[in-house]
Every structure is written in structure tokens, then in C-alpha cells.
Chains A and B, each alone.
Chain A
Amino acid sequence: EVQLLESGGGLVQPGGSLRLSCAASGFTISSYAMSWVRQAPGKGLEWVSAISGIGDSTYYADSVKGRFTISRDYSKNTLYLQMNSLRAADTAVYYCAKDLVQVARYYFDYWGQGTLVTVSS
């Protein structure tokens, strides 16, 4: 059974950093592209970043480019999102989502339960 479990969220001050993790089970993350999608409180869904299952191609929304870094650890079968220079506008629930194929095509077939990031002083 495919499962995705996010962790690492919390309260952080503006300008601070946080690293989110997404532990995958039931499949190997190297075989599929993976993404992060966020949802601000009471708002809609926004794609944030993706990483291909093969090679090291990474993709970012303009709103986070230069501040966020997506990566993965094959040995731990875990996806990460390093978030730096955080802003109040980054406050959201962050979901990791599995793609259907190795290249990033954004066919999100499985999602984690999400982890809340709150940026506030």
C-alpha cells in the first residue's frame, strides 16, 4: 500500500528556515517524480516544487524559486523540502504528492496527509 507521511512543519519566524520531510512506503521514490503542493488557510491548492524520479531535474514555482530546495534520500526513501527566507505568505499546509511516472508530469495519484507551516513573529 502506498503511503506518504509528511513531517517537519511548525511555527517559524519570518526570515527563518524549516525542512519538511515526506517518508514514502509501498513504492520506491526513485521510480517516480514527486511534488510538493501547498494550501494556505482557507485557500486553494498551489503547486510548489517537483523532482524527477530519474536524474536530478528539479522544478519550482516562481513564488518560491531561490528560497526553497527540493531533494530526496534514496536510502531513506524520503523526499525533502528545504525552505529558507520564509515569509508570512508561505504559511500553509504542505502536501507531498506522488506522480504516475518518472518524469514530472503532475499526475498526482497519491497524497500525504500534510504538515502545517506557520510563518509568524
Chain B
Amino acid sequence: DIQMTQSPSSLSASVGDRVTITCRASQDIRNDLGWYQQKPGKAPKRLIYAASSLQVGVPSTFSGSGSGTEFTLTISSLQPEDFATYYCLQHNSYPPTFGQGTRLEIK
């Protein structure tokens, strides 16, 4: 199985900050990666697909980049509603595997 390693596991930031979350794959997954946001008690919501394509309806403050084994999710200016847990998901190789999550908290 492909291992997805996210960093950091948690992050404290303030409204208006720029934050970056990284996901590293244990082998080349091309650009077969999505980013998901999950708020407490809610289902995950897809933000990014194909590593860098923004899901319709997601604010342009979110962006994704990377290919191969290293990927980043960037939030250019944190809004109060962005405080949540973020997961990456690789779907290049079976079985699909998630990163362990990054909890983004208010400083």
C-alpha cells in the first residue's frame, strides 16, 4: 500500500494567515491526489482534485500543487470557517489511502 504522510499533524494560525500543508507519498502517484476538509461531526468535503484543480464552489483562497511524491495545500488567507481538519487522499494505486490528517486550529 502507498503511505501518505501529512505534515504538520497540527497547526495553529490566525485569521488572515497563509498556511501550507504537505502530503508526501511513499511512491510516485503522478497527480492522482485530492484534498478534503472535515469539520467536527461533519462529512469530508472535497476541495481539490487532480492535485491542483479547485472543486466548484470552493473559495479561490485554496490552492493545491505538486506531482509525483510531494504535494501541498495552501490557504492564502485564513478565514474563520477554514479551521478544520484536512486530509489528502491518493487514488493512483489500489487501495486508496488517506494521509493521517492535519488539524488547523485558531491561534
Contact = CB atoms under 8 A, between A and B. Distances in A.
Interface of A: 44-47, 59, 61-62, 95, 105-109, 111-114
Contact of B89 (A61, A62, A106, A113): A106
A68 to B, nearest CB: 14
B34 A95 contact: no
Q: Nearest 5 CB-CB pairs, A to B?
A: A106-B91, A111-B43, A106-B96, A45-B98, A44-B101
Given A95-B43, A112-B43, A113-B43, A105 B94 contact: no
Contacts of B49: 107, 109
5 contacts: A44-B87, A45-B89, A61-B95, A105-B91, A112-B43
B37 to A, nearest CB: 11
A45 B101 CA distance: 8
B42 interface: yes
Interface residues of B, number: 21
Given A47-B96, A47-B98, A114 B43 contact: yes
Contacts of B65: none
B50 to A, nearest CB: 9
B45 A44 contact: no
Residue in B43, B45, B97 with the greatest tally of chain A CB atoms within 10 Å: B43
B46 interface: yes
B16 interface: no
Given A45-B89, A62-B95, A112-B43, 8 more contacts: A44-B98, A44-B101, A45-B87, A46-B98, A59-B94, A95-B43, A108-B89, A109-B46
B44 interface: yes
Nearest to B98: A45
Nearest to A95: B43
Interface in B37-78: 38, 42-46, 49, 55
